[in-house]
A and B are shown apart, each in its own frame.
Chain A
Amino acid sequence: MLLIKNGRVIDPANNIDNALDIFINQGKIIRVGKNIDPKGISRDSGKFRIIDASGKIIAPGFIDMHTHLREPGQEGKETIATGCRAAAVGGFTALACMPNTNPVNDNKIVTSYIINKALKEGCVRVYPIGAITRGLKGENLSDIGELKTAGVVALSDDGEPVMNAEVMRRALEYVKSFNLTIISHCEDKDLSQSGAMHEGFVSTRLGLPGIPAAAEEVMVARDLILAEMTSSHIHIAHVSTAGSVDLIRRAKAKGIRVTCEVTPHHFTLTDEAVTLFDPNTKVNPPLRSQEDRDALREGLRDGTIDAIATDHAPHDSLAKDIEYTLTANGIVGLETAVSLTLNELVHSNILTINQAIARLSANPARILGLKGGALHEGEDADITVLDLQREFMVKPETFKSKSRNTPFGGWKLNGGPIMTIVAGNIVWEAK
């Protein structure tokens, strides 16, 4: 039994922002209300803890809809257990994991393996995402119905685009029988080629091969047209350019069923971060220009961008302590995402705290059709507690993730999670 008292409860799905108490028993939210008196609660099941959350914010458990857990196949970089620990420390009560494991999650056996392993070893909820196409090859559809039955919550070939428009068209049509969302990694491989960073003045200065913004935008445009044609829902992963935000904004106005996400590194950093050739700045899509970053922030503010997702992509030293162009793409994000959101967006008045919470909880839940993302009485008690003032120093050496590939080491961030509760259990709390 848990009673969280005196906190500011912000639950965007229920339009609540009030000083309220929350009473939790047997993993469920029993009551959300004013001045819940602990004396009035019968202490039937032993342990009873009262948490004084004065000055803190109580939010629905955050959901990271874009994580790479690396298991099965690359357990040296991350495992389901360590990825879940990192998520808990980062304030996430649930995550959706991408299928580019080895073997690829394009069949029910891998899906079941991930679900079972997560139930056994994971301290947060794990929702597998299945592959759109077999082996992420972009050629033949996976057994999508089987995947759904086994428990995937969405489909994506993330890491690889579905280059063939006909394949994408058929995927968007077929998923409608199973009520699944396609998450698209928008990248025209012919345009991105072997690029290592955003194509612009910085890539010119550094002499690194560039990835033009158009490599993303032509695919966003294609996918929007296909979503319109098929009347299917498409979710655009890791939007990184001003042009993409513009295309999505116009598509939404037109009534096309599109949602999208942005990563903390894309709304925080620009291509200038690559100047010293830190391998931890190499990511796909690449860190873009100042104008792009500003457009992402505006997209978050006006609601064009629905969700904040980490694209947590763990890599080991063999993949990162090497020459820049050879370095693997990816940044670990689970343990910095919430603090970056608060520091970069809330404290600089781009988003209200309520909007930030919606983009980390209610919106990803809605996009993926998950329970959670709200504080409903009678439902599972998944809760994230935030302290907006506490200073967080990013110390990669203390990460719970197996990997350390972050460009934010040494950053001081204002605000962050201090407690993560999954099904009524405190899975992490700040010391």
Chain B
Amino acid sequence: MKLKSKDLLGLEELTSEEISLILAIAQSMKEIFSKKKQVPPSLKGKLIINLFYEPSTRTRTSFEIAGKRLGADIINFDFSASSMSKGETFKDTVLNLHAMKPDIIVIRHSVSGAPQFVANNISASVINAGDGAHEHPTQALLDLFTIKETFGRIERLRVAIIGDISHSRVARSNIWGLTKLGALVKIAGPPTLIPAQIEKMGVEVFYDVDAAIKDVDVIICLRIQTERQNQNLLPSLKEYSRFFGINQERLGKAKPRAMVMHPGPINRGVEITSDVADGKKSLTLKQVANGLAVRMALFYLLAGENQKNVAY
């Protein structure tokens, strides 16, 4: 089985079968690696370019390790600014990369749609490593993987996504993924951070975090950027923390078995208190570990050799 598209631009485009396939292969990757400390180098001789227009440590490193474990050559291009500042177009940059004949381009960009733009102009596979507030599909896939690993299923679980939904690509990808796999998704935060008509994505909207997390199995906290205060989207971080942040007391309103996730990096004391982040109910480090397995699975599905014969 393969994915329908040459690219992974978002979870909106994937079917539930495709998502399940990625998760199943990620599961095999994780098992094989934990037993043998290595996996067959199915991407040997392949060239992966990590094209990062936004600073990122963990996501870029995770892609890099995933590529290396599969035997690929992986190169990092870090751009601090847009192509335009050099007097060329983004299209010029993409065509230059195309000339280097990569097999996969992993792109992170602060502007929504940049991965789509690259995919339209290049024959290599494009993996979206986060674009603006649009999608962050590998984060959502690793979140789905972690939820499935923890609860044994995703269907019919109740998941609350809390915080700055407006600016969050993680929220959007998770909403697509979770709803496609049959979870019940609630979102909550101050109305200033809830985007227009998001209920059409199939979620229930709450402005009261306590009401949203009542009886949920999973709480996904989102990072709050400090600049939101200056845009009048929040009066202050202190107020946010008090009324919308996840602390022990609030966590008590969820199901007893509920777990807390965060895509990182966390703002301790803002969207999550340290005792929760470091506590028994936190899945954050498992998320990071599972990110590797998911990214290996994607590389394998998009560029792996001898797919039929490999027993993942």
Contacts and interface: CB of A to CB of B under 8 A. Distances in A.
A in complex with B: yes
B28 interface: no
A322 interface: yes
A207 B196 contact: no
A317 B111 CA distance: 18
Contacts of B112: 206-208, 277, 324-325
Interface string B107-136: 001011110110010000000000111110
A205 interface: yes
B27 interface: no
B91 A207 contact: no
Interface stretch (B67-75, B81-89, B221-229, B251-259): B81-89
Interface stretch (A95-103, A169-177, A195-203, A223-231): A195-203
Interface residues of A, number: 22
A204 B117 contact: no
B111 A324 contact: yes
B131 A207 contact: yes
Given A205-B172, A207-B169, A321-B89, A200 B196 contact: yes
Contacts of B87: 318
A205 B89 contact: no
Contact of B134 (A208, A210, A318, A326): A208
Interface in A282-332: 317-318, 321-326
Nearest to A317: B89
Given A204-B201, A207-B132, A208-B132, A324 B113 contact: yes
Interface string B129-157: 00111110000000000000000000000
Interface residues of B, number: 30
A240 B82 CA distance: 31
B215 interface: no
Contact of B196 (A201, A276, A325, A326): A201
Contacts of B111: 323-326
Interface string A200-220: 110111111110100000000
Interface in B175-208: 195-198, 200-201
B210 interface: no
Nearest to B171: A207
Interface in B211-256: none
Nearest to B121: A321
Contacts of B18: none
A204 B175 CA distance: 12
A318 B131 CA distance: 21
Interface of B: 12, 82-84, 87, 89-92, 109, 111-114, 116-117, 120, 131-135, 169, 172, 195-198, 200-201
Given A207-B169, A209-B133, A276-B116, 10 more contacts: A199-B196, A204-B196, A204-B198, A207-B131, A207-B134, A208-B134, A210-B195, A323-B82, A323-B117, A324-B117
18 contacts: A200-B196, A200-B197, A201-B196, A201-B200, A204-B195, A204-B201, A206-B134, A207-B172, A208-B132, A208-B134, A210-B196, A277-B112, A318-B89, A321-B90, A322-B82, A323-B109, A323-B111, A326-B111
